[in-house]
Amino acid sequence: MKTYIYSSLLGLGLMLAACNMEKDPIGLLTPDQISDSPSEATLTSAVNSTYEPLRNTTGFLGDGSWTRGLFIRPDFVMEDIAGGDMNKKWVSDGDQAWMDEVGRFSFTADNPAFNGLWTYAFEGVSRANLAIDKLGNPETVQQAGVSQDLARRMLGEVLFLRAYYYFELVTNFGDVPLLTKPLTDFDEAYEVAVRVPKEQIWQQINADLQQAAQLIPDTRRAAENEPWRVSWGAVLALEAKVALFNEQWQEVLTKIDRLQQKGYFNLNSNYFDSFSNSKKFNDREVIFAYNHTQGTLPKNGNGIGSLLGWGFLAPTDDFVASFEPNDPRLDYTVNVADRLVYKLMGELNAANRGNGDSPTNKILIRWADVLLWKAEAYLETGDYQQAIRLINEVRARARNTSTVTGGTAPSGTLPDRNLQVTDPAIIKAWLMQERRAELGFEHHRFSDLRRWGVAEQVLKAMGKNFNPNHYLYPVPQREIDLSGGTITQNSGY
């Protein structure tokens, strides 16, 4: 029987033939399997496997090593811990000290966090390329007996996913290798083991999303019986986010306006509905989420629960203190007294603390986030009242949300911001405050601080050793070594 390895050769997370592993990678179809017996089932499996590097299932990639950043996806380390919202643990005990190093900005290029994200993202790119190659081949699609509509939709899904993985790579590392087709041997891998300018990566992301928008049906859900699949709305939302990160403010407004006109998404009346396990895919706010499921083989649960059982993922004092008085969102995010991170557990109790196989979805894009992107674009284009109105819309939902005990917030909680204010610095401060409270522990904080250009100011004020070179993370040293230096390091590392 053929076996395959997870190889981080040249930093690309490729699937290459080998004979030194005892089992095939979880959830992956190889090129030979698809070519030898293409069917609707094999092509669907190739598409489904492309979603998997998004998940928080523990031990999913390679040997599941903590020391290589592969025990669990390290998003929370590189965003929430680095951004000053989260401590590694409630009580510091030296366990997994590399996470503390990221939080202090005392890391080196050998830190497992960077290898982890790089490997997860390039694994996703590799899987997407395999699926794109097959679904883009009319002969393969015909031989598999797949309808044109299904083939188009699935191709749109994997194009979106490739764009999503490259978005993670370019925003964290800048210039990265660009792969747009499956690699079949080590010679091909060496040829592409070079970083291309980030502008070229952004061009590829935009091209993939533009094509995906033409392929995925313009409906709220791409498939009603599988609501977790990439929808047309998810594509438009990611296009808007790409424009946001490139300061293309009018494009942000255009994309969100187009999506808003469809009426597919809106704010839930209750803040916690987006995260509640009982409301999975039955709310109106979540645009894109990874669908963790419990009790399956191989496992597909949310491994964040296992970390909570070991005392991980505590809020910083600064994060807790940043909330306005009586804001219901704080208690829905984390119960400080009982050390329960409700938002990541999907329950308002301790049921999933220690449960590494919990069914809690991983929310990747939701409507409140999109509304605040739009507010930012209005602010940057000088339409201050429109910006404030959207901030107030998010605040109104928060203050009208019942508290975790079932009551109502006191009168005067989260009052509307004054529509007559025209000082952009004041409005920007309101926006920054609102994003932190609304999106806490959702893996956005450090990216926000970086793109606003305030990371050095904010993080140094918190006592962190942040320097200008930290606006980009280092390329994993292991990948540079494997490439023989053809993959270069970011400045300052």
Distance between CA atoms of residues 373 and 379, nearest Å: 10
pLDDT digits (tens, 9 = 90+) for 176-193: 999 999 987 778 888 899
pLDDT digits (tens, 9 = 90+) for 73-107: 999 999 999 999 999 999 989 999 999 999 999 99
Same domain? For 182 and 284 the reply is no
Same domain? For 182 and 286 the reply is no
Asked whether residue 162 is assigned to any structural domain, the reply reads no
Same domain? For 399 and 313 the reply is yes
Q: Assess contact for 118 and 169: CB atoms under 8 A.
A: yes
Distance between CA atoms of residues 4 and 18, nearest Å: 5
Which residues, given as ranges, of the chain have pLDDT below 70? Answer: 1-36
pTM, 2 dp: 0.94
Same domain? For 180 and 269 the reply is no
User: What are all long-range contacts of 131-136, with beta carbons under 8 Å and residues at least 24 apart?
Assistant: 131/43, 131/46, 131/47, 131/49, 131/50, 131/155, 131/158, 132/158, 132/159, 132/162, 132/181, 133/181, 133/182, 134/34, 134/38, 134/43, 134/46, 135/43, 135/47
Distance between CA atoms of residues 226 and 153, nearest Å: 13
- State residue 184's pLDDT score: 79
- State residue 25's pLDDT score: 36
Same domain? For 181 and 319 the reply is no
According to the 3-state scheme, what is the secondary structure of the chain?
A: CCEEEEECHHHCCEEEEECCCCCCCCCCCCHHHHHHCCCHHHHHHHHHHHHHHHCCCCCCCCCCCHHHCCCCCCHHHHHHHCCCCEEEECCCCCCCHHHHHHHHCCCCCCCHHHHHHHHHHHHHHHHHHHHHHHHCCHHHHHHHCCCHHHHHHHHHHHHHHHHHHHHHHHHHHCCECCCCCCCCCHHHHHHCCCCECHHHHHHHHHHHHHHHHHHCCCCCCCCCCCCCCCCHHHHHHHHHHHHHHCCCHHHHHHHHHHHHHHCCCCCCCCHHHHCCHHHCCCCCCEEEEECCECCCCCCECECHHHHHHCCEEEECHHHHHCCCCCCHHHHHHCECCCCECHHHHCCCCCCCCCCCCECCCEEEEEHHHHHHHHHHHHHHCCCHHHHHHHHHHHHHHHHHCCCCCCCCCCCCCCCCCCCCCCCHHHHHHHHHHHHHHHHCCCCCHHHHHHHHCCHHHHHHHCCCCCCHHHHCCCCCHHHHHHCCCCCCCCCCC
Asked whether residue 415 is assigned to any structural domain, the reply reads yes
Same domain? For 317 and 418 the reply is yes
Question: What CATH number did the domain enclosing 312 receive?
Answer: 1.25.40.390
- State residue 4's pLDDT score: 32
Same domain? For 143 and 14 the reply is yes
Same domain? For 189 and 298 the reply is no
- State residue 31's pLDDT score: 59
Asked whether residue 247 is assigned to any structural domain, the reply reads no
Same domain? For 180 and 293 the reply is no
Same domain? For 268 and 184 the reply is no
Same domain? For 273 and 190 the reply is no
Asked whether residue 203 is assigned to any structural domain, the reply reads no
Number of domains making up the chain: 2
Q: Which of 162, 194, 226 is the last residue of a domain?
A: 194
- Mean pLDDT of the residues in the chain: 92
Token pair belonging to 3? 């076996």
Asked whether residue 213 is assigned to any structural domain, the reply reads no
Asked whether residue 338 is assigned to any structural domain, the reply reads yes
Same domain? For 273 and 138 the reply is no
Asked whether residue 342 is assigned to any structural domain, the reply reads yes
Token pair belonging to 176? 């990265």
Asked whether residue 362 is assigned to any structural domain, the reply reads yes
- State residue 30's pLDDT score: 54
Owning domain of residue 270: 263-464
Handedness of CA 231, 232, 235, 239 (dihedral sign): negative
